[in-house]
Amino acid sequence: MPFPEYTGVSESGGYYGNATYHSLQMKVEKRFSQGGTVLGAYTFSKLIADVGSLTTWLDSGVGLGSNTPQDPNNLRAEKALAGFDSRQRLTVSYALDLPFGAGQKYLHGGNAVVQKFTSGWTVSGGSTFQDGFPIALTATPNVTGFNLGLRPNVVPGCNPVKTGSAQSRLNGWFNTACYTTPNAYTLGNESQTDPVLRGPGIANYNFALFKKTPITERFKLEFRAEVFNLFNRVQFSFPNTTVTTAANPTTGFITNQLNQPRLIQLALKLTY
């Protein structure tokens, strides 16, 4: 140790580290004369940092890895893609008044009761598409002799990326043969997050159907049907990222999901 007379150093109450963020952001919006709007937003970005997250309770579902640097005497080596680097993200949202009922193009006939059923319908929703977050690998057993965030060694010339659907890679998200556990009292050469490995991405769709019905001048009835995760798509969690010497390792296995199954909720409100 450089200063053996000090058995421990404690630091609290401070946020440290450096980060660099660059992005290209685009937005397209269309408003309709009959009522409604469609908005699309796309971001292409890169975030690199030399520290993970000091608020892990806010950052669930991202590849943060260990917040303990592998080599405290060489923090420059910690600089890598941040665990919450989202390279590409596209969101599309819309809210459209349907052209049905009184004063509209379709189904505008009928008596007053019929028109109350056919008028006042609106659809809205939002869709999110995003690349997965970078994967942070750790290594065990940690035989460095210190409480360090040990990382594995990278096998030269080995491609860890596997192709295919997420379902086909649940028991092997990446090529684990590309990583080995460091020898005793040595540090691995893997970066804080892997430069080419990413976890599962996001493709989520939400939808809502809304209707306003005036009963009298004073009373109005509102109905709403909302569907979250419309197509019941699963967003898988991160794979096991611990490279180990265990006899039956599950490194690279995905055993959980992050999102919830399809959720439908109905609401009816009377205002007066």
Name residue 8's amino acid. G
pLDDT attached to residue 45: 96
- Per the CB < 8 A criterion, the answer to whether 183 and 142 are in contact is no
3-state secondary structure of 89: strand
- Per the CB < 8 A criterion, the answer to whether 191 and 80 are in contact is yes
CA–CA distance from 115 to each of 25, 107, 176, 220, 244 (Å)? 44, 8, 63, 15, 68
Residues 207-221: b if buried by 16+ CB within 10 A, e if exposed: bbbbbeeeeeeeeeb
Q: Residues near 91 by Cβ (< 8 Å), separated by ≥ 6?
A: 40, 41, 126, 127, 128, 129
3-state secondary structure of 56: helix
pLDDT attached to residue 54: 63
Among residues 19, 30, 159, 15, the alpha carbon closest in space to that of 92 is found at 30
pLDDT attached to residue 40: 97
Spatial separation of the C-alpha atoms in residues 213 and 195, rounded to whole Å: 55
Domain boundaries, the chain: 20-271
**Block means of pLDDT (10 residues each) for the chain, length 272 residues?**
76 70 96 90 94 65 66 85 92 92 74 79 95 92 76 95 93 95 90 93 95 87 95 93 88 92 95 89
pTM score: 0.81
3-state secondary structure of 124: strand
